[in-house]
Amino acid sequence: DITVDSCVENDDALKYEKKAFYVPVKRSQEIQLTRMKLPICDDEQAIMEAISENSVVVICGETGSGKTTQLPQFLYEAGFGNPESDNPGIIGITQPRRVAAMSMSKRVAQELSLDDKRVSYQIRYDATVSSNTVIKFMTDGVLLRELSGDFLLSKYSAIIIDEAHERSLNTDILIGVISRVLRLRKELSEEDKSKIKPLKIIIMSATLRISDFTQNRRLFDIPPPVINVNARQYPVSIHFNKRTPRTDYVTEAFKKICKIHTRLPRGGILVFMTGQNEISILCKKLRNKFPYISSDRTHRNRTVIKEEPPIDEPNEYIHKGYSDRNVDHEIEELAMGENDQDYLDHHDDFDTNSEDSITEFENDVLDNEYAGPLYVLPLYSLLSTRAQMRVFEPPPEGARLCVVATNIAETSLTIPGVTYVVDSGKVKERRYNASSGVQSYVIDWISKASADQRAGRAGRTGPGHCYRLYSSAVFNDQFQQFTVPEIHRTPIEGVILQMKAMNIDTVSNFPFPTPPDRDQLKKAEKLLRYIGALDENNQITSLGRAIATFPLAPRFSKMLIIGQQHECLPYVIAIVSALSVGDPFIKDYHLDGTDSDDGGDEDYLVNNVQTKELNEIQKEIIFKKERRKLMRKKFFDVQKKHSGLDPTSDILKFLNVVGAYEYSGGNEKFCEDNFVRTKAMQEIHKLRGQITKIVQANCQGVDVCVDPKMKPPSAIQLEALRQIIAAGFIDQVAMRKDLVDGMTKTFSSTRGIAYSTMWTNEDVFIHPSSVLYHGKPPDFVVYQELQRTNKVWMKGITIIKPEWLSKLGKSLCVFSKPKELPTPKLKRNDDEMTAYVTPCFGPKSWELPLIKV
Ligand code: ADP
Ligand code: MG
């Protein structure tokens, strides 16, 4: 290998003060040549001048222009990280994704001819950092975590925040925090200044709309300069589908790839899917259809390969599970919720039906057409690094490269040689239902900005084509201009708790790039106070710190924390999973019109109206409805059988159905017979496994049963579970209205019986779908959500005992002397629930009262 000194070629141009501490670099000629072709290298001087004159610089440039790989090198060469220089601290680069942090550090190390001790990475499970590290790639979660230990970030001289346009929650918080760090580093005492030098911040973004950073006075008093890197982008022709396929974009993508591969000239294909499962299906089908001939040494006989191309290293980190890692480290990182993007890949709910429809298509037209081999590679976050790196290598001789990726390939990684992009137009996102507090993962349309980014991937090496698997009408009408920043999509109370755990106390003054609504912030703080995560001064409590270690909604985390008694934890995990996924039962119609969003059988029947007599259809609907009712009843009868108790909770009914499903071996017939949604049950099953791992990692010494088959809970456990549910939903207590008014009536049914709650002045009612609907109206309940139709209905109801409130929700109660008011009473007062109960002090606020059954 011939080595050249990189700076020889452009040394004259270097006006900025880099010469003094300039660090010579040896690069191989090959690397040097590729590097000089990157658009950003033309701007090295302008960028370095801007950085030397400003503390914050924004760099904007198309994906692939060289931002991530080159900027750390510019800084390094200019003396950043050189202990002798004015900027002795190390260079930090943050990424929203683990994959990018790892692969980019490897690439930069290779380009600089340095080892991974000098150019290192740190991600949640893994790190190569050492005392010799000069350039450190990390996820933004890792840096946030470091901030809680060293708020001045004193070991860094420069922080590059990459992929800022993605507007991930962590990136947003990071930018806010760092704007404060910057100020503090400038305001240090003279003595400290001699030790800690000013910090440089570089924000890098792939698309426009950077005004959220640059024009935000709360963030930076002086608007930072923006350097636009002029990327050479070739024209890309956009081809919309004539109509948008209703569901199965995987089959649609398969057809499109087949057409491109059989009919169009050479050039790599990049396909955007939403998750691991779809990617695997599509890859398998494509490999089967267009096997490639291996020139790999491992296949000496030029075998026809229909499998995943081999990789020479074992899988490094994905399938290790949690148990063999450093638990402390884990807890720390989980606290940051670092895994969102990676988790998305894994949380795959794609309907596997498309496997069949692809097969039908396969047997159909394409058999007569000739096509060469296709070198198919998957690309998603949880793939091993080695397998991910294959996308950068040239495909085997004569084969066409086809990478099937999640939106990780949208801006994080640039795959060389792509001429064709096939865009499903879909992305998996975390959503949050503000009223129920329940999060879900949904597949939805991407934004117009994302669609353009994806199309742009086809124009890196020459003119390209982008095939959009949706119509232009859908694009125009249903695609938003930009992706909504994650902070506006996630439950804000989780974010606030995370920030409080990082000792950022006054969240309302925090310089978010796009701040959440002030009322939302207040409401979230209130909720956190109610569940005991914050004290009355909005300071984080020890319970709050424990809650913050779980990447789940705070109330669910609380349930997991207090669920570690009476061997309830596996049940609580099942409950939390079921609540996160949502009601698995196929809904009933109610004559009072409370539930109108049924799908399923009714749709099917109505759509087949021509083939059946109408009254027969109606009969069938009624018959099915009756059967459904019976089947749903079965699940509280199960509870009664085991505990001898009448139904006390809708949530415990979920637990029963989860238990029964696992005993059935998780089969579809069970779901069909019992009118539960198969997909929901599969989701719950998966989520249980994931939450079990999180609990194992977070709670040292807790032995959680990992067998999905649980014994039915005992009577004591059922009571404990109700207390745990009550603790989780302690702010959502409802009291029968006649009790609030001080008169006690007797009732024969729950119909029309009004309840009072603390979040609304309106009367609320027990929803007809509740197991409690047909019994006697209980005095006190907690509810999971309120739903408004013609009335406000409570759903997901659990009967509680008023004496629990004093222990589980002490901050929500006002205490009076026992003899004044011997019976517990709840009263609405200033939007807060006031409970007159006998005071009772547990040793720790979240400890469960001992239950006497
Ligand atoms: P940007 O951050 O502006 O999107 P990058 O710095 O990530 O651009 O990429 C610059 C170039 O380096 C791209 O052409 C990309 O394909 C190439 N590249 C990045 N990582 C590797 C790697 N591991 N092996 C080979 N080429 C790489
Ligand atoms: Mg980049």
Q: Which residues pair with 837 in a beta bridge?
A: 815
Ligand 1 centre and the CA of 574: distance in Å?
43
Atom of ligand 1 nearest to the CA of 61: 3
* Token code pair at residue 359: 């097969």
365-369: long-range contacts (C-beta < 8 A, 24 or more apart)?
366/258, 366/262, 366/289, 369/262
The single-letter code of the amino acid at 98 is: R
Cβ–ligand 1 contact at 666 (below 6 Å): no
Cβ–ligand 1 contact at 67 (below 6 Å): yes
CB of 287 closer than 8 Å to CB of 376: yes
* Of 40, 414, 453, 461, best ligand 1 pocket probe by most atoms within 8 Å of the beta carbon: 414
Q: Which residue has the tokens 């390209």?
A: 464
Q: Which residue has the tokens 């959220």?
A: 212
CB of 348 closer than 8 Å to CB of 277: yes
Cβ–ligand 1 contact at 414 (below 6 Å): yes
How many C-beta atoms surround the C-beta of residue 357 within 10 A? 15
**What are the backbone dihedrals phi and psi of residue 337, each rounded to the nearest 5 degrees, phi first?**
60, 35
Ligand found nearest the CA of 96? 2
How many C-beta atoms surround the C-beta of residue 592 within 10 A? 11
**Which residues keep their CB under 5 angstroms from ion ligand 2?**
67-68
* Token code pair at residue 15: 């006006």
* Of 40, 67, 107, best ligand 1 pocket probe by most atoms within 8 Å of the beta carbon: 107
Query: C-alpha dihedral over 315, 319, 322, 327, to 10 degrees?
Result: 20
What interface predicted TM-score (ipTM) does this complex get?
0.98
Q: Mapping DSSP to helix (H, G, I), strand (E, B) and coil, where does residue 690 land?
A: helix
Residue 790 CB-half CA count within 13 A: 8
Cβ–ligand 1 contact at 36 (below 6 Å): no
Helices (H), 480-609: 492-501, 518-530, 542-548, 554-562, 569-581, 600-607
Q: How far apart are CA 185 and CA 47, in angstroms?
A: 22
**What are the backbone dihedrals phi and psi of residue 153, each rounded to the nearest 5 degrees, phi first?**
50, 50
* Token code pair at residue 140: 């933004």
DSSP letters spanning 301-369: T--EE-SPPP-SS---SGGG-STTS-HHHHHHHHHTTTTHHHHHHHS----TTHHHHHHHHHTTTGGGS
Q: How far apart are CA 113 and CA 119, in angstroms?
A: 10
- What is the predicted pLDDT for the residue at 848? 36
- What is the predicted pLDDT for the residue at 639? 57
Residues in the chain, pLDDT under 70: 1-21, 124-125, 207-208, 245-247, 292-370, 382, 431-441, 587-645, 699-702, 740-748, 759-760, 810-853
Q: How far apart are CA 651 and CA 770, in angstroms?
A: 10
The per-residue b/e assignment along 406-418, b for 16 or more CB within 10 angstroms, e otherwise, is bbbbbbbbbbebb
Ligand found nearest the CA of 73? 1
Q: How far apart are CA 608 and CA 812, in angstroms?
A: 54
Atom of ligand 1 nearest to the CA of 416: 16
Ligand 2 centre and the CA of 196: distance in Å?
29
User: Taking the model in full, what pTM does it have?
Assistant: 0.68
Cβ–ligand 1 contact at 61 (below 6 Å): yes
What angle do helix axes 678-698 and 327-335 make, rounded to 10 degrees?
A: 120
Atom of ligand 1 nearest to the CA of 389: 23
Q: Mapping DSSP to helix (H, G, I), strand (E, B) and coil, where does residue 545 land?
A: helix
Sign of CA dihedral 295, 298, 302, 303: negative
814, with CB counted inside 10 A (0-12, 13-18, 19+), is middle
DSSP letters spanning 13-65: T--STTTTT----EEEHHHHHHHHTSGGGGGHHHHHHHHHH-SEEEEEE-TTS
Q: How far apart are CA 695 and CA 700, in angstroms?
A: 9
* Tens-place pLDDT, residues 636-661: 555 566 556 678 899 998 898 898 88
**What are the backbone dihedrals phi and psi of residue 96, each rounded to the nearest 5 degrees, phi first?**
-70, -20
Closest of 49, 71, 76 to residue 60, by C-alpha: 71
Ligand 1 centre and the CA of 64: distance in Å?
6
Ligand 1 centre and the CA of 68: distance in Å?
7
